[in-house]
Structure 1
Amino acid sequence: MMSRTTIAVAASAGACALALTAPAAMAAPEQTQDTGLVSVFHGIPGTTVDVYANGDELLGDFQPGTVTDPRSLDAGTYDIEVFEAGQDPDGAPVLEKEVRVTEGGNTTVAAHLSADGKPRLTTFTDDVSKTDAGKSRLTVRHVAAAPAVDVRAGGHPLFTGLANPDEDTALVDAGTVNADVVLAGTETVVVGPAGLDLKGGTTNVVYAWGSAEDQTLALARQAFGGMDSTPRAVHPGAGGAAATPNSSDQWHARAATPARSR
């Protein structure tokens, strides 16, 4: 197990990348009955990758710490493969996982490290339903090579005992929240503090990613504006600039198996 001292040192490296002003929402890409929206998060430090779906390239030279804007994919089953950038896609991928895209669904596929530092792919369902007036939905996803953590808002625990690759969600008052991440059950800060600007009626997803042992802990964020808009994604330290690796609203990959909503 990593010592508290090691993790505390790692926190100072991660805190440098925590300018998390809410990015602006944009108009949603057109979504038909037989498509779903998919985003991809890259949370493996130090590795630029290419991402394929059923043999078709979705993303090239994808940088760590970025989340794509959502793109439409035909409903169905996809074999997602992640290769080191420029590697022959006929070779062995770094990661591979079968992902099901549902009609009308919103999904994020995250490439990240397990708690013990091994690369893995995890699929998350994005709740983009509307919130009450004056409220904002905050979801935290633990995808870092680090022990279980507590997430605090204004010094008070909001989520406790969050372990990789779990997530937790709460409705909070809109406004600026001063958040940090501490070792579960302790006051030992591992990331933050960071100011989160949570707009009313939005859904905000924060990823704690990187490696404590390698001192690369950081945060990345998606902001959803409800069902009528889609998330904008920021690269840590990019000053709120949106990461848009693919300019098209539609990814051109062929689904292996059509999926029907129930």
Structure 2
Amino acid sequence: MTVRSAGAALTAAVAVALTVTVGAPAFAQPQAAPDDTAHVSVLHAVPGLTVDVFAGDKELLPDFEPGTLTDPLKLDAGSYDIKVFKDGEGPDGTPAIEKTVEVPGGANATLVAHLDADGKPALDAFVNDTSKVPAGKARLTVRHVAAAPAVDVRAGGTPVFEGLENPKEAKGEVDAGTVKADVVLAGTDTVAIGPADLDLAEGSNTIVYAWGSAEDKNLELATQTVDGLHSAPHGVPAGGNGEAAGVNDPAVLGSLSVAALLAAGGAAFLLRRRGEAA
């Protein structure tokens, strides 16, 4: 399975696009207090389709490839008019996916472009659970965003979440450590995805996405980790990171000053792209 983390330039481009569009009619947002913000990641889980993601008429994620999970972005709370186009067809063409997404203040959220149970493109926002985790425990969250029937999720061959349907999620607290997980058709032993080793770190929320299409036989797993959820005082929830299973690559936009630096880098990146296109 392959999950490619979006590069720094991609994250910077998103940050600057969001910065310059505040106040535009198609992307208007209220003036937010410093704590009225959210950490938002974006997962592209539509197989075989490179896309461009727009907010209103502003391009946020160009050439966004399947299996890509962005680093968290610090965004103002509000409504976002998200449009997903086939690569090169936006913003004047017909979007493959269009939806207004509400981003609540203070939330850690993931926006997922995926297939619904019937194989049609869909867009859903999930709020990631950043509540404290008891000592010695880890939180496991599983999200069904694949064109597939209901599934059971097993750990070590034992079902831990049963009858999970698209686009639902299930979560629970388990002992920290490495577990071998797989996804089977609900009520059967027919393996649809896996098995795969999941490293469930103490004081973390490991989020597993089952995505792709059962009919096209390209079902895959993507994982995301929100850490710093220890019950002890040293744990501070500060966002999550996108990572391939077995790869630890934490990335958090920790302050407005960092976001400003990313925005500046994104401006240079976008100007360079426009210059190359001219």
Structure 2 CA distance for partners of 1:158 and 1:241, relative to 1, 3 Å: closer
Match of 1:118 in 2: 120
Structure 2 CA distance for partners of 1:46 and 1:18, relative to 1, 3 Å: closer
For 1:233, the aligned partner's letter is G
1:32 shift after superposition: 2.5
1:105 shift after superposition: 1.4
Q: Which moved more, 1:56-65 or 1:154-163?
A: 56-65
1:182 shift after superposition: 0.6
For 2:242, the aligned partner's letter is A
Match of 2:53 in 1: 51
Match of 2:157 in 1: 155
Match of 1:234 in 2: 243
Identity %: 56
CA distance in 1, matches of 2:137, 2:55: 36
Structure 2 CA distance for partners of 1:242 and 1:90, relative to 1, 3 Å: farther
Q: C-alpha offsets along residues 59-86 of structure 1, whole Å, 9 cap, x if unaligned?
A: 1111111211110111111101111122
Does the residue aligned with 1:229 lie in a helix, a strand or coil? coil
Q: 2:136 aligns with which of 131, 134, 137?
A: 134
CA distance in 1, matches of 2:2, 2:203: 23
1:34 shift after superposition: 2.4
Q: 1:86 aligns with which of 88, 110, 124?
A: 88
**Does the alignment pair 1:187 with 2:189?**
yes
CA contact (8 A) 1:69 1:230 kept: no
For residues 203-222 of structure 1, the aligned pairs below 5 Å read: 203-222=205-224
Does the residue aligned with 1:66 lie in a helix, a strand or coil? coil
Which consecutive unaligned segments of at least 5 residues does structure 1 have?
Answer: 1-16, 20-28, 253-262
1:243 shift after superposition: 9.9
Which consecutive unaligned segments of at least 5 residues does structure 2 have?
Answer: 4-14, 16-32, 230-235, 264-278
Does the residue aligned with 2:114 lie in a helix, a strand or coil? strand
Q: Which structure has the bigger radius of gyration? A: 2
1:232 shift after superposition: 1.9
Indicate the structure whose relative CO is greater, using CA pairs within 8 Å and at least 6 residues apart: 1
Q: What TM-score do you get using the length of structure 2 for normalisation? A: 0.74
Structure 2 CA distance for partners of 1:158 and 1:129, relative to 1, 3 Å: same
CA-based RMSD: 2.4
For 1:216, the aligned partner's letter is N
Match of 1:196 in 2: 198
Structure holding more helix per residue: 2
CA distance in 2, matches of 1:164, 1:34: 30
Match of 1:26 in 2: none
Does the residue aligned with 2:119 lie in a helix, a strand or coil? coil
Does the residue aligned with 1:115 lie in a helix, a strand or coil? coil
CA distance in 2, matches of 1:241, 1:55: 35
CA distance in 2, matches of 1:145, 1:88: 25
CA distance in 2, matches of 1:182, 1:249: 41
For 1:230, the aligned partner's letter is G
Q: C-alpha offsets along residues 17-53 of structure 1, whole Å, 9 cap, x if unaligned?
A: 279xxxxxxxxx9x93122111111100011111111
CA contact (8 A) 1:68 1:243 kept: no
Structure 2 CA distance for partners of 1:220 and 1:146, relative to 1, 3 Å: same
CA distance in 1, matches of 2:136, 2:2: 25
For 1:234, the aligned partner's letter is E
